Amino acid sequence: MESILAVKQRFGIIGDNPMLNRAIEKSIQVANSDISVLVTGESGVGKENIPKIIHQYSHRKHSKYIAVNCGAIPDGTIDSELFGHEKGAFTGATANRSGYFEVADGGTIFLDEVGELPLATQVRLLRVLESGEFIKVGSSKVEKTNVRIVAATNVNMEEAIKKGKFREDLFYRLSTIIINIPPLRQRKEDIPILFRKFASDFAQKYNMPTLRLDESAQQILCQQDWKGNIRQLRNIAEQMSILEKERNLNTETLNHYLPNKTPKLPARLDDIKEDNSSFSSEREILYKVLFDMKNDLNDLKKLTLELMQGDSSTEVKEKNQGLIEKIYGQDESKHDRKNIDFEQDIDIELNSKIDSSFEYAETIEEEETLSLHDKEVEMIKQALMRTNGRRKNAAKELGISERTLYRKIKQHNLGDVSDL
């Protein structure tokens, strides 16, 4: 078995963290079997290296290796992409098409973001794992394939199963062996080495001297949480390589590029949902207050009418002159109407006030809904502009899948990023 160091050099993996080394070791150990493997870890940790290692050290290394980003393929076409389709199976299917499972027969398929697969596709995938059988879209013929499946996800699969978004039986078939890649914040000793590697790569790419950080700047670099992991560190190294004229950098310069020094990113769509629930709570409180107000006013009306019916003298009317004028205004000819007319008028007036209050509440609700819509549209526009229209990067920044972002762009009719 080849050494871990040799594997790192071959695949360009930087770092000497024990958890990282253990992940590479497990990859080498399972490579020669046909067992299914699930690679777990946060977005940006480098999960894509593990299936490459498994394929290259297996008996399938001379056959096809296909990587599929399940989150980037729309629901309507993913079955066709994976399993193929027959001519005329759907609108636009002008010819027969071979899917990835047919093309990769004898090789390895890497299903990245497998947690984003639609439930219907999960059923088809389960059949492939259990029997190696699949049916093309629009066909009734059962076909066979012999592929090794390695999957990866940054989704909490237990939560996804509880919410009914992922099949439990498929999870157990995929996760015979689980290989976890640690986040960058658990590999702090590797951060300076990774930064130097990225700085060197970008110096060659842009034909400029290599960036160097002093000791204090390196310490600051290691103290960050790095929620975007290696991808985030690489992006910062590229920004600094392009923008900084001085190639020896200190803490002050570094701080301009670190996450806690830059403007906050737009709220994730999940946060908007939480805000929406708080809006619902506020509306419930508002309605309760309005109903309580109506009850209080009805009690006041009842008490006033009882007083006026119990004493026909002008004394009671004088005591309630302010209330009577509020209902009737200054027209004294109306004051002498029967009590039943007075009751009807005050009831009409009170109900009018309550109705106005409810109309106001409904207006607030409409404004909140509009505000949420505008906020979502603005967030998507800003993310697309910051990433120069790269939807995959924009989706990661917003904390949603690329397929969800595609649907949102179509829903809000945002069009091309150049039009924003």
> And the tokens for 367?
């404004």
Place of tokens 């013929």: 141
> Which CATH code, of 3.40.50.150, 2.60.40.10, 3.30.565.40, 3.40.50.300, is assigned to 4-182?
3.40.50.300
Contacts of residue 361, Cβ cutoff 8 Å, sequence gap at least 6: 283, 286, 287, 290
Task: Encode the chain (420 residues) as per-residue pLDDT tens digits.
Answer: 578 999 999 999 999 999 999 999 999 999 999 999 999 999 999 999 999 999 999 999 999 999 999 999 998 899 999 999 999 888 888 899 999 999 999 999 999 999 999 999 999 999 999 999 999 999 999 999 999 999 999 999 999 999 999 999 999 999 999 999 999 999 999 999 999 999 999 999 999 999 999 999 999 999 999 999 999 999 999 999 999 988 899 999 999 898 764 444 444 444 444 445 444 555 566 666 666 666 666 666 665 666 555 554 455 555 556 555 555 455 545 444 444 455 555 555 555 655 555 555 555 555 555 556 777 788 888 888 888 888 888 888 787 888 888 888 888 777 654 444
Supply the pLDDT for residue 261.
46
pLDDT score for 315: 56
360/371 Cα distance (integer angstroms): 16
User: 0.75 exceeded by the pTM?
Assistant: no
* Fold match, 4-182 / 187-261: no
Spans of all domains in the chain: 4-182, 187-261, 269-419
Tell me the CATH class for 187-261. Answer: mainly alpha
Closest CA to 284 of 364, 374, 376, 373: 364
Instruction: Give 199's contacts (C-beta < 8 A, 6+ positions apart).
Output: 210, 211, 212, 237, 240, 241
418 vs 396: CA distance, rounded Å: 20
- Answer for the pair 23, 50: CB distance below 8 angstroms, yes or no: yes
Contact present, 28 and 121 (Cβ < 8 Å): no
Q: Which of 381, 376, 407, 413 is nearest to 71 (CA)?
A: 407
Torsion of CA 318, 320, 326, 330, to 10 degrees: -10
Instruction: Report the alpha-carbon distance of residue 10 to residue 331 in Å, rounded.
Output: 96
